[in-house]
Structure 1
Amino acid sequence: MSGSITITNPADLHNPVAFGYSHVVDAPNPDLVFIAGQYGSDQTGAVESSDFAAQVERSFANLGTALAAAGLGFQDVARLGTYIVDHDHAKLEALLTVITRIWGDKPPAQTLLGVAALALPDMLFEVDALAVRR
């Protein structure tokens, strides 16, 4: 990668390189920060829970960790991509609970995709983000 892009893999998150991605890509011109898909993983990359709502909670906690590694917070997120295995209304409600708690009535732009499967068999949810350094 060129010197204008900084790649960060926070020590508090699992090492994603073996899975073919990095957690944070900071592109300074314009000053955009791309956060790779975060899921309900522990520091080893293992999915912590089979419960959908718990995976959503942990995914957003991991997103917060990745943002902090770039010196940013949830308030800097401009766009989310969310991915739900076997999407239904109950899962949407679990996601909305977390989004409302974090952003209130001003959430970022979001595209939600219902998918058949994600990268690992136990993953039920994943979120990626585009943040703007102010």
Structure 2
Amino acid sequence: MPHTLSNPDDLHDPTGYGYSHLAATTGDLVFVAGQYGSDHDGHVVSDDFAAQVDRAFANLGVALRAAGLDYRHVARLGTYVVDHDADRLTVLLDRITRIWGDTPPAQTLLGVATLALPGMLFEVDAVAAR
């Protein structure tokens, strides 16, 4: 499937980590790489789980807008939570409800022991449809 890879200027440059933020097909699909609570330099912004979730979803929004889309276009989410528990699930559910209301996208949540960088507690990737 032909596709175009891109990295929005408003997000950190991920190429040093071995990936691109967006892969858009010539058809209707846009794949957004895992977004985490990162600043413009790729550093984790906080050690607070809720703050990381907020920033990760904000970064997801930046990536979507760079592709001419928004949260309404998201068909599927992959969410990854370090040390998953009921409190973290409550935070995640609150943020998803704020963004998508009563019609959230399909989602797979994985509880994991660790993520790519020290201090990362949450990551979200997405598939969006034009």
Same fold (TM over 0.5): yes
Q: 1:57 deviation in Å?
A: 0.2
Residue 19 of structure 1 corresponds to: 17
Q: Which amino acid aligns with 2:94?
A: T
Q: 1:121 deviation in Å?
A: 1.0
RMSD of equivalent CA atoms = 0.9
Q: Which amino acid aligns with 2:33?
A: A
Q: Which runs of 5+ in 2 are unaligned?
A: none
For 2:5 and 2:69, the matched residues in 1 are separated by 15
Q: 1:5 deviation in Å?
A: 1.0
For 2:63 and 2:5, the matched residues in 1 are separated by 11
For 2:44 and 2:96, the matched residues in 1 are separated by 21
Q: Which runs of 5+ in 1 are unaligned?
A: none
Residue 10 of structure 1 corresponds to: 8
For 1:87 and 1:132, the matched residues in 2 are separated by 29
Residue 26 of structure 2 corresponds to: 28
For 1:117 and 1:27, the matched residues in 2 are separated by 30
- The reply on whether 1:54 has 2:51 as its aligned counterpart is yes
SS state of the match for residue 25, structure 1?
strand
Q: Which amino acid aligns with 2:89?
A: L
Please list every run of at least 4 consecutive aligned residues from structure 1 whose deviation after the TM superposition is greater than 2 angstroms: none
- The reply on whether 1:79 has 2:76 as its aligned counterpart is yes
Structure 1 length normalisation: TM-score?
0.95
SS state of the match for residue 50, structure 1?
coil
- The reply on whether 1:130 has 2:120 as its aligned counterpart is no
Q: 1:127 deviation in Å?
A: 0.1
For 1:63 and 1:8, the matched residues in 2 are separated by 14
For 1:122 and 1:11, the matched residues in 2 are separated by 24
| Equivalent residues, number | 130
For 2:94 and 2:19, the matched residues in 1 are separated by 28
Structure 2 length normalisation: TM-score?
0.98
For 1:53 and 1:76, the matched residues in 2 are separated by 24
Q: Which amino acid aligns with 2:36?
A: Y
